[in-house]
Amino acid sequence: MADLVLSAVGGRTAAQAMEAGVPPRDVWLALCAEMDVPESHRYGAGRLEPRRR
């Protein structure tokens, strides 16, 4: 996965995005979107999406 470029985080890899200060949640969601992970599984199978603060 080190070479997967994520357009949602500025055309960076996950590692580059983290080094650039992109929040981990944003990197995770970009990875999920790029890998076509269904929204219902992005927080773990059978788990509810966390509440927004």
pLDDT in tens, the chain (53 residues): 568 999 999 999 999 999 999 999 999 999 999 999 998 888 876 667 777 77
Query: Model pTM?
Result: 0.76
Instruction: Say what the pLDDT of residue 1 is.
Output: 57
Instruction: Say what the pLDDT of residue 8 is.
Output: 96
d(CA 52, CA 6): 24
